[in-house]
Structure 1
Amino acid sequence: MTLDGSLTHERYGAELLAETDALRAALRAGDLAATVPTCPDWSLADLALHVGGAHRWAGALVAVRATENIDPAGIPGATGPDDVTPDTLDAWLADGADLAVRALREAGPGTAVWTWSPVHTAGFWARRMVHETVIHRADAALAAGVPFEVGPEVAADCVEEWLQLCALPAFAEHLAAKGEPLFGPGRSIHLHATDTPPELNAEWFLDLSGDRLLHRRGHEKATVALRGPLTEVLRVFYRRLPADSELVDVVGDRALLDQWLEYATFG
């Protein structure tokens, strides 16, 4: 099993810093006590603490070349600043991303590090932390009422990574445990970004006709198609935007798309 990304290790580091800066800007524009609509158990402050804690946890795993998981409670600063204010939270987020990127750059992509995936490398964490930050930045932007955009290369890689994770055997077992008939003959989904250049190939075909997910890039007729700007397709696919939004079009068997969105989650 591979979880190959389309960006270089150095690029992932740069994007992690840039995405964290954009997240910090969204947080500064909002009320830290506000509820996050797409994560209703969290306030904006809770969301920031989650993301910053993930950065410090991943950075610590890479820095010590961990061969097993590390309890975040034992990582200095991982639970947040001592006194959470807009200023201390902002500085804490910036410092955590910087620590993570320095550890990732020192290690290089191929260094062996524990991960929860079948791929045990520092490169996994570089890519995962970028996309973790992208998606939670979407949450923060919604809560703060500010625009959300993602560069096309990062957005396409974010979709691709999610599909690769969904194709892991553990995910198929997760779906089977729910007892839902997601897979079956003639069932497929097509994702089609309408605002990207052809060379990006921002289209995906999800084959659900067997007993597990198979996916590939390209334009193919499917049972249902989700079409729209890449940022909005990404948001729908991660359940950060309703599929009935006027920003996207759904053509075909809407029930199948809804079923995928409901059950294609590790939550």
Structure 2
Amino acid sequence: MPVLDHDAYLSQLTAEADRLREVLRDADPGAHVPTCPDWSLAELIGHLGGVHRWVTQVVTTRAQEPLRRDLVAGDEPPKDAEGLARWLGDGVTPLVAALREAGPDTRVWSWAGVPTTAFWSRRMVLETLVHRADAAIALQRPYDAPAELAADAIDEWLELMASESALRFRPQLAELRGDGERLHLHATDAPAQLNAEWVVERTPQGITWRREHAKGDVALRAPLTDLFLAFHRRLPLDHERLEIIGDRALLDHWLEHTAF
């Protein structure tokens, strides 16, 4: 369930894009992105800016069917860091404007079975949040996620992993079914009011989850930003800031089958 309203997500989208543009300052566009190993930094930004432009088209045309990304009009991304940062901003501005004009309840196509613009305002913030991490990791620059967004990103990822729509796109998600095995995620530095703990249960019918403090067959404990990064496969499980208690193989299996 979204933790912010539509307008708040749009404000966060602008802020996240600005943070990413700052990461790109004086960057090497050819830098390898280890968390997206087929991409350079320029290709990462090209992907993200392309997604922003594609969703703008989905919203402005009130699309009810998938749009081919290769048919969405837009300039090719520049090759230099300053140009990439400017191009990224040039894509976010009309996206925010289109989503703001449409409001949260306009019916448009989405791949996740949530056919409203509210899906896209949230999804675009969290897409940008994750790819800002990719850029920071590639450039070995500091990264911190706003606590509310990091927790929301874990919520959203679990919602997507549990959805029938995602299963149609990624049949390997069926491998997440189980016999009641439980994963416990625990953010060690989050304020109590954020309730940043999750229990994920693998049932024969699929996965269920809830925010709760409870024991699991495996627990992953870390500061919230690191927990978010690890759960999105952006931080290796043997990283010194992560603590794993219990059946690590269960956590390894989860991460192997949740790649998008």
TM-based fold match above 0.5: yes
- The answer on whether the counterparts of 1:29 and 1:144 sit within 8 Å (CA) in structure 2 is no
Kindly provide the CA deviation profile for residues 67-116 of structure 1, in whole angstroms up to 9, marking residues without a partner as x. Answer: 12222233221x633x4322322211001011100000000011111111
What secondary structure does 2:238 align onto?
coil
Equivalent of residue 247 in structure 1, options 241, 246, 249: 241
Partner of 2:119 in structure 1?
124
Would you say 1:233 and 2:227 are equivalent positions?
A: yes
Which amino acid in 1 is paired with 2:114?
A: V
Q: Does 1:112 align with 2:123?
A: no
Give how far 1:176 is off: 6.0
Distance in 2 (alpha carbons) for counterparts of 1:236 and 1:214: 20
Distance in 2, Cα, partners of 1:143 & 1:96: 22
Give the superposition deviation at 1:21.
Answer: 1.0
* Contact 2:49 2:88 survives alignment (8 Å): yes
The Cα shift of 1:264 comes to 1.8
Equivalent residue for 2:98, pick from 98, 103, 109: 103
State the shift of 1:204 in Å: 0.5
Deviations, residues 5-37 of structure 1 (Å, cap 9, x unaligned):
110101110111111111111122421001101
Equivalent-residue separation in structure 2 for 1:178 and 1:162 (angstroms): 12
Give the alignment's TM-score, normalised by structure 2: 0.94
Distance 2:224 2:12 in 1: 18
Percent of aligned pairs with the same amino acid: 48
Matched, 1:12 2:9: yes
Residue identity opposite 1:195 in structure 2? D
The residue matched to 2:38 in structure 1 has which SS?
Answer: strand
| Superposition RMSD in Å | 1.7
Q: Does 2:18 match 1:25? A: no
Change (3 A) 1:113 1:84: same
SS at match of 1:60: helix
Contact kept in structure 1, 2:167 and 2:174, CA below 8 Å: no
Matched residue count? 260
Indicate if the aligned counterparts of 2:26 and 2:81 stay in contact, CA closer than 8 A.
no
Corresponding residue SS for 1:53? helix
Note the C-alpha offset of 1:244. Answer: 1.2
> Which residue of structure 2 aligns with residue 46 of structure 1?
43
How many Å separate the matches in 2 of 1:24 and 1:167?
33
Write the letter of the residue equivalent to 2:15: A
Contact 1:30 1:143 in 2 (8 A): no
Of 76, 79, 86, 1:80 maps to 76
**In structure 2, what residue type is equivalent to 1:30?**
A
Tell me, in whole angstroms, the C-alpha distance in 1 between the residues paired with 2:173 and 2:210.
25
Q: TM-score by structure 1 length? A: 0.92
Residues 52 and 91 of structure 2 are in contact (CA less than 8 Å); yes or no, is this contact kept in structure 1? Answer: yes
